[in-house]
Amino acid sequence: MLNLNRYRTVRAEAGQEIVIRKSRFIGYAKPVASEEEAIAFIDEIKRLHRTATHNCSAYVIGERDQFQKASDDGEPSGTAGKPILEVIKNKGLKNVAVVVTRYFGGIMLGAGGLVRAYTDGAVAGIEAAGEIEMVLHREVSVTVDYTWYGKLENEWRGRGTRLGGTAFTDYVTVLCLPEEREQEAFVAWMTDVTQGQAQIAIGEPRFYIEGE
């Protein structure tokens, strides 16, 4: 897991095609958690488009972007992989891999044209995959007597607290998901609101999509 409170990435694997001077460029993007996942995704696209002229790619992985790689896959050096990598970095994305497949249309684009084409292909793939922001939350289980449940529902609603599941047994247990950076303040607030009568258990940290 990234040791960050929030980071930007893409929602899901997706692709989009653009045509530039009769050449087809198909941009693909996918969220990945490791170099192994990135390489597997790139290999998958290469198998899917084994008859393509080129399958150029780049990925950025890690809290400090420590794992980066770009491949021109036979295009002139610096005209494909690097532009794709620059799109990822300029957008501030992490844990993402991008592949731009090219089917040559018979018209040479030149170095500058290739850079622009692969840049546009990478942008198209990322747009198709959807940019999102992931925010680190902490699972906090709050168990109370039924007499507290209605009041706490109103409090959570008023504060905009993200909630997980609710279990109804002899007591009510609600999985609350405050942001990691607000965890201590949230626990103190719950203790105060329930006058110390809540059983509070701290669980695992998990990333969730901002605003969902």
- pLDDT for 148 equals 94
Taking the C-alpha atoms of residue 205 and residue 200, their distance in angstroms, rounded to an integer, is 15
CA atoms within 13 Å, Cβ hemisphere of 129: 30
* pLDDT tens string 131-144: 999 999 999 999 99
Query: What is this structure's pTM?
Result: 0.85
- Judged against a pLDDT cut of 80, whether residue 3 lies above it is answered with no
- Average pLDDT of the residues of the chain: 95
| Structure-block tokens of residue 125 | 């793939």
Residues 58 and 81 in one domain: yes
The residue from 129, 158, 173 where one domain ends is 129
Reply yes or no on whether the pLDDT at 4 is more than 90: no
Is there a single domain that holds both residue 121 and residue 188? no
Please indicate, yes or no, whether residues 74 and 151 belong to a single structural domain of this protein: no
Q: What is the CATH number of the domain that holds 167?
A: 3.30.70.240
In terms of domains, do 74 and 172 share one?
A: no
Q: Is the domain of 51 the same as that of 71? A: yes
Q: Are residues 46 and 149 in the same domain?
A: no
CATH number at residue 50: 3.30.230.30
The answer to whether residues 109 and 148 belong to one domain is no
Domain count, the chain: 2
d(C-alpha 8, C-alpha 4), whole Å: 11
Instruction: Give me the domain span that covers residue 155.
Output: 133-209
> Could you report the per-residue pLDDT of 6-49, keeping only the tens digit for each?
999 999 999 999 999 999 999 999 999 999 999 999 999 999 99
φ/ψ (deg, to 5) at 187: -60, -45
The count of residues in the chain is: 212
Q: Clarify whether residues 198 and 113 are in a common domain.
A: no
pLDDT at 1: 60
In a domain, 142, yes or no: yes
Residue 212: pLDDT band by 50, 70, 90 thresholds?
confident
pLDDT given at position 151: 94
Task: Mark whether 123 and 137 lie in a shared domain.
Answer: no
Amino acid at 30: K
